[in-house]
Structure 1
Amino acid sequence: MDSPSDTPPKSEQKPGKQACDNCRRRKIKCSRELPCDKCSRLLLSCSYSDVLRRKGPKFRTLYPLAPIHPLISRPRDTLHYGPRQHTLDKDFLPEAGSYPIGASPTSPPFSVVDAQFNSQEFLDSFTRLAPPELVSSPDSTNSMSDSGTGQCSPFSRRLSSPVLLAHVNVYFKYLFPIMPVVRKDEIQADCHQLERLSSRRYAFLASLCAATHIQLKFDGAMDPSSFNTEGQYMMSGEELLAEAVRARKECDPVDEVSIESLLTSFFLFACYGNLDKQEQAWFYLCQATSMIFTLGLHREVTYSEFGPEEAEEKRRVFWLLFITERGYSLQQSKPVMLRNSIHKPQVLRSDDPILTYGFINLINLFEKLTPNLYDWISAGGGDGFSEMPPISSIQSSLCKPMSLDGVVEIQRIDILVTQQWLQVMIWKLSMAHASQPGSREDAVLPFHLPLLVGKAVMDVLSAASQGSVDAHGIGMEQKLFDIGMAVADVTRSLGSKASHHLAESPVGPRELLWGLLSTLSRIRGSPSYLFPTLLNRSKTILGLDCSINMSNFLPLITAPPSGPTPSWRDESQSRWDLLTAADPEPEESDRVPIPVSVSVPASVSHIPSPLAFHDTHLLRAPR
């Protein structure tokens, strides 16, 4: 029998003298456990693989000078986007356990901030890195492979493992539910072995990091003066994007089309879309969509060539592009190429049924928009070259209730807000068509539909945490802006009698606009770039002085306008009062032509009754 002294108790084992690799590089205190406390909190992979060398003079290998890295050489003051004067957004990084994070199209229930989360340490993973550590050393990349030949251009400089890991971990905590198309274990392993990555794989990782940084607007949530000290450097979102584009140029995506190349284009689209650079965004979205056809992912027979797990992963890639293309094309009046030609992911066979169920619900919404609708919009909507799609039937299908029991908060926000936003977009098409000669009356939707949609949206937002709204990026800002503009246009077009009637309701147009402006004033930690436009459109409705602007309006945003207290400010009431069928339809004499783009001409003598559209179905939310 072995002596007890042969195997000392675990409590008697002394911790190692060496700090872990991550803590040693960041020069912070390490508990010297496996994993250590810092790596556990930051979701980093803890290791003790680095071999410490003795200090002092030693033989050094000289390498040819590498080209100056584009990220470090560019002036910081020329690389910025959006407001940068705000400190860390307390709503986006709340106290421990303050809200569950799910997903936009999809997500499992997990918390953004656990009990041991430290926001300062979270930011350290971005800021406590000196410029030499932002990229790997020359000798670590001289054996990389190029996309076509397996050989990498020598001495190329790359983002370091800590930078990649920090963004990858944030991606899986916030954005994977929105974009469930990558494998966590594989990506985290790749971040630890940069020397084995091909140029194509590295470009994919760099684009993922850039999309994460820009969509979550970390540049607006972090104040460089608060976190940068001597010898430290913080990369901006546009610097990460520049690195991703540089890495993409090192490989030819046409030479060997792959899922990695497709997703690289998709993440670059997300970057430029969140920066409101629509020409570049449309280019990369078209590039990703074209690769769908090159890979044959639009044909069901293609998936029989893969195993069950790989087939489901590629299905999610196809349907993510399907959703993205239809949503973006509706905003930009573009045609669509993808059709619902393959089966959807299977809920019961999925590793995360809740995530897949939410994803399918979002797919179902965009399937209701027919391809001929996009053809009609992109052709000008009324130039006579294409037949008008059945707007009324599309609207009827969009307002049907969905069963979202068990779907987590961020999923509900994305699905329900998207459902209401699509109805507003269809309503705008209906109003535009009403001005055309010979238009059918059955193609004109209820005039006050945006008010119903606004109430439903504010009902959703009033029950949601700020972080769950922020996670959706610029897309959520644009949807709320479109809804707010429609509410403002309808209200301004009503006569005095109808406006007075709406003002007496528990939640009138002024309260709706105030709520939407309040949300846009703080979304993603700073006022939205669309906030001034909606404020300018709403001044007369809110009774504000014409000289008021964003700077002097923001202090007023915490106080609601005079009148009945809206339900989202009443803690005892979590639901909005519905507009009932008893509410009288505004008389034709009370209407005046709508200004700007949405107009109802005097030639329209009849507006269908709202009873044709079930208001309770339109506004119903899962309980």
Structure 2
Amino acid sequence: MVNNASSAHRACDGCYVRKIRCDGENENSSCGPCQRAKISCTYTHVRKIGGPRRPKQKTLKAIADTSRAITVVSPPPSLLLSSSSSSSSSSSTIIDLEQLKPIIDAYGEKLKLVWPVVDITMLYARLSDPYPTNEIYALVTAIAAATISQLHLPESAPVTANHLVSEVMRAKALMPVVTVNTILTSYFLHTYFSNERNNSSAFMSLREAVSGLHALGLHREDTYLMMTPGQEQRMRKLYYMMIVTERGYSLQYEMPVILEPSIGLPSLDGIQDQNERVFMTGFLNLIHLFLKPDKNTIDTWKRPDHACMENIQRTVEQVMQINPLLLAHESQKVDIFVTQRWMQILTWQLAVLKGNGNVSIDFPASAVKNIMEIGMTVDIEAFEAHGPEMKFKLYEISSALADVVLCSPQASHDRNPIISTSRDLLHHFILFISSLKSTEPRARDRIFGKLLKAVNSHSVSNDFLLAYDECYENNHRETVRVMQLLDSI
């Protein structure tokens, strides 16, 4: 049989062993290298059968990791949960986004004015996508988790806030590129962790969102030049929503402020829809509320020197010039109104600590009375829409009023109309706070004893006891503690 080396690419035995090029034409003639080496030119070796080698362990691991990544992007139908799926689930279970529709309904009904940077129509469209990208999957599940914690919605496996967050974190690990959606995902994670009082994770998620804004250049005006008017408006809203969030968080936890108002505000120009114009008017008022105190003022608010104290007082006077009662949307009205009184109370407490002789003892009662009055004119859901953060502010305001009652001589409680009024107001204010669905155990536990003693300095009514029983109905040990405190007073 004739084998043509040039066509079959088969080398003779000598050239094969020596690993050199063989120019032999067939097995009946000697090739050039063998002739020059004066050796026999033969073709007796058996050619090995080609094919892949057994993969190494490193290769097998890389294939497995890639497979896990693909399942989030394009999960087969068998991995998707449905309403008939088992209630048990693990962190590797893919959630069918259509299961989240009731939660997104609650978001659209109660929270779209609180978090005004998500296109609700597009959000609904994503729910029906059977194979969402990691980016969309993480964002939708983050919105759902934040909504559950914000509104204190009932949970049922597998759609629990904790499981949703584990899915967000899993999908986030597969997203190396920063986009607007990844920034929003970090923002909603911040909201969830903040509501759950996981302060370290809340802080890190907020910083991640802020870094994302900088990575995309949204703090620079020239970035907006190439955007369409619609894109530009949405990005400006996102940037200033982050400013409001960061400054509110910094005031609570004494964290340094990073974002500056370095770009123009969202504009009312060109907005034809009347509802959108009404919303934007309220949103701009909220922005101005948090722009009145500059970065340095917020950074030094909790630990000011004498000069800073004067600046803070001037800032609060400017803040109070905003009139939220003119706004149409109740949730915006309540948010600004309560935040103004909260800032006033923080400043009043600082003045007391600094020994300012001009401090009015009846100021906390006035702030509580104002909030109670607006509470009678709006739906309670306007308060509940702002979740535990709203309850935190209300608790801090009530704490200042309790200080007034407790720091006054016991003998003057009945004779002094200011103290008597403050005690009664505090009684009703605690009942009002307790009626809100959201939970705020951190502030509640910190000042509970103080509030209880202040109200009980005169008497404790049955409705007060019932309110606190309701607050602690899910924690028997806390309920026992409440009753023990009552008995000891």
1:267 & 1:403 partners in 2: Cα distance?
26
Match of 2:116 in 1: 180
Tell me how far 1:388 sits from its aligned partner. 5.0
Query: What amino acid maps onto 2:137 in structure 1?
Result: Y
SS in 1 for 2:184: helix
Q: Given the alignment of the two structures, is residue 381 of structure 1 paired with residue 312 of structure 2, yes or no?
A: no
Match of 1:364 in 2: 288
1:471 & 1:455 partners in 2: Cα distance?
21
Tell me how far 1:348 sits from its aligned partner. 4.2
1:552 & 1:511 partners in 2: Cα distance?
12
Query: What amino acid maps onto 1:554 in structure 2?
Result: L
Tell me how far 1:338 sits from its aligned partner. 1.3
Q: 1:235–1:389: structure 2 CA closer, same or farther, 3 Å change rule?
A: same
Tell me how far 1:499 sits from its aligned partner. 4.4
SS in 1 for 2:208: helix
1:501 & 1:335 partners in 2: Cα distance?
45
Match of 1:513 in 2: 426
Tell me how far 1:261 sits from its aligned partner. 1.0
Query: What amino acid maps onto 1:168 in structure 2?
Result: I
1:170 & 1:208 partners in 2: Cα distance?
11
Deviation string for 1:477-503 (max 9, x for gaps)? 100011000111122223468744653
TM-score w.r.t. structure 2 length?
Answer: 0.71
Match of 1:596 in 2: none
Match of 1:553 among 446, 460, 465: 465
Match of 1:347 among 249, 268, 279: 268
How well do the aligned residues superpose, as a CA RMSD in angstroms?
Answer: 3.4
Q: 1:501–1:370: structure 2 CA closer, same or farther, 3 Å change rule?
A: farther
Q: Given the alignment of the two structures, is residue 129 of structure 1 paired with residue 83 of structure 2, yes or no?
A: yes
Query: What amino acid maps onto 2:135 in structure 1?
Result: R
SS in 2 for 1:178: coil
Match of 1:250 in 2: 174
Match of 1:492 among 401, 406, 417: 406
Match of 2:210 in 1: 289
Q: 1:164–1:543: structure 2 CA closer, same or farther, 3 Å change rule?
A: closer
Match of 2:449 among 530, 533, 536: 536
Tell me how far 1:236 sits from its aligned partner. 1.9
Q: 1:526–1:404: structure 2 CA closer, same or farther, 3 Å change rule?
A: closer
Match of 2:128 in 1: 192
2:338 & 2:151 partners in 1: Cα distance?
19
Match of 2:27 in 1: none
TM-score w.r.t. structure 1 length?
Answer: 0.57
Tell me how far 1:545 sits from its aligned partner. 9.2
Q: 1:306–1:526: structure 2 CA closer, same or farther, 3 Å change rule?
A: closer
Q: Is the 8 A contact 1:373 1:388 kept in 2?
A: no
Q: Given the alignment of the two structures, is residue 167 of structure 1 paired with residue 103 of structure 2, yes or no?
A: yes
Q: Given the alignment of the two structures, is residue 306 of structure 1 paired with residue 230 of structure 2, yes or no?
A: no
Query: What amino acid maps onto 1:165 in structure 2?
Result: K
Q: Is the 8 A contact 1:376 1:389 kept in 2?
A: no
Tell me how far 1:529 sits from its aligned partner. 5.5
* Structure-to-structure mapping, 1:378-527, within 5 angstroms: 380-382=303-305, 390-402=311-323, 404-434=325-355, 445-495=359-409, 499-500=413-414, 502-503=416-417, 508-524=421-437
* Structure-to-structure mapping, 1:45-84, within 5 angstroms: none
Deviation string for 1:399-438 (max 9, x for gaps)? 225164351222211111111111111222333333xxxx
Tell me how far 1:364 sits from its aligned partner. 1.2
Match of 1:115 in 2: none
Match of 2:7 in 1: none
SS in 2 for 1:131: coil
Consecutive unaligned residues of structure 1, counting only runs of 5 or more, are 1-63, 68-126, 136-155, 225-232, 435-440, 559-623
1:342 & 1:497 partners in 2: Cα distance?
57
Q: 1:518–1:324: structure 2 CA closer, same or farther, 3 Å change rule?
A: same
1:284 & 1:515 partners in 2: Cα distance?
37
Tell me how far 1:275 sits from its aligned partner. 0.5
State the identity as a percent: 25
Higher-Rg structure is: 2
Count residues in correspondence: 389
Query: What amino acid maps onto 2:453 in structure 1?
Result: T
Consecutive unaligned residues of structure 2, counting only runs of 5 or more, are 1-63, 69-80, 471-489
Q: 1:552–1:520: structure 2 CA closer, same or farther, 3 Å change rule?
A: closer
1:489 & 1:406 partners in 2: Cα distance?
33
Match of 1:320 in 2: 241
Match of 1:203 among 138, 141, 144: 138
Deviation string for 1:573-623 (max 9, x for gaps)? xxxxxxxxxxxxxxxxxxxxxxxxxxxxxxxxxxxxxxxxxxxxxxxxxxx
Identify, as 1 or 2, the structure richer in helix.
Answer: 2
Q: 1:474–1:526: structure 2 CA closer, same or farther, 3 Å change rule?
A: closer
Q: Is the 8 A contact 1:209 1:240 kept in 2?
A: yes
Tell me how far 1:366 sits from its aligned partner. 0.9
The structure showing larger relative contact order (alpha-carbon pairs under 8 Å, at least 6 residues apart) is: 1
| Structure 1 ranges of 4+ moved more than 6 A | 548-552
Tell me how far 1:306 sits from its aligned partner. 0.6
Match of 1:96 in 2: none
